[in-house]
Amino acid sequence: MSMEYIIEGIINGIIQTTTLEWIAVATGLMSVWFSMKENILVYPTGIISVLIYVYLAFQYKLYADMGVNFYYFVMSVYGWYFWLHPKSKDREQVRVTINNQKENLITAALLLGSFAILYFVLTNFTDSDVPFWDSTTTSFAIAGMWLMARKKIENWVAWIITDIISVPLYFYKGLVLTSFQFLIFTGLAFAGYLAWKKSMEKVAES
C-alpha cells in the first residue's frame, strides 16, 4: 500500500464524512479530554458521542462495536452517578485509585468473557468480515469503560490498546475521520494515564 494511496483515501474519507460523524468525533474527543481532567462533563459529552456511534456501527456492520457503544451509554449513566457520590462527604467526587486483587479478577473476567462471547456470536451469527479485531477492541473497551466508571487508573491502559487497534480497523471500514479520531485518542490516553497518575501521587502526598 503506497503513501499516495493512503493520502488519497484520507482525503476522500474526510470529504465523504457525514455531519453526524463529525458530531460524534467532536463530542468523543471532548469526552476523552474531560476524562483526562477528571471533569464530570466526560459523561454528557460521551453519551452524545456513543449514541451516534451505535447508529454508525450498525450502518457499517460493526455489530460488536454497536453493542459496546450501547454498553458505554449504560456505563456512562452509572459512572456519572458514581463519580458524584463519593463515600467520603468531604469531597465532591471520588478519587483516582488503583485496582485491588478482586478488581483485577473482575477486569480479567470482563475482558476474556466478553471476547469469547463476541467472537462466537460474530463468527456464527453475523456477516462481519473482521470478527477477531472487532471482538478484541470491544472486549478491551468493555473492561476500560467499567474501569473508568470506577475511576481506576488502569482504564487508560485498556483504552490505549483499544485505540491503537481501532486506528487501522476504522480506516479499513472507510470511516477515515473516526480512524484519525482514535489516533488522537491514543495520544490522549497516554496523557490521561500520566495525569491520573499525577493525581494519585498528589493525594498520597497530602
CA 129-137-167 angle, 5° bins:
80
Q: What is the pLDDT of residues 152-184, one digit of tens each?
A: 999 999 999 999 999 999 888 777 777 887 898
**pLDDT 10s digits, 4-43:** 766 776 677 777 778 998 899 899 889 999 999 999 999 9
* Nearest CA-CA partner of 97 in 177, 88, 41: 88
Q: Write out pLDDT tens, residues 131-140.
A: 999 899 989 9
Helix axis angle, 101-125 relative to 63-83, nearest 10°? 150
Q: Is the pTM of this model over 0.85?
A: no
Cα R_g (the chain), whole angstroms: 17
For residue 186, pLDDT over 60 is answered with yes
Q: Which amino acid is at 158?
A: A
Percent of the chain with pLDDT over 70: 92
**Beta carbons within 10 angstroms of residue 12's beta carbon:** 12
> Which has more pLDDT, 109 or 92?
109
Alpha-carbon gap, residue 4 to 139, rounded angstroms:
34
* CA–CA dist 65, 118 (Å, integer): 10
Band (pLDDT 50/70/90 cuts) for residue 2 is low
Contact 185, 167 (CB under 8 A): no
Contact 173, 60 (CB under 8 A): yes
pLDDT tens readout for residues 113-124 = 999 999 999 999
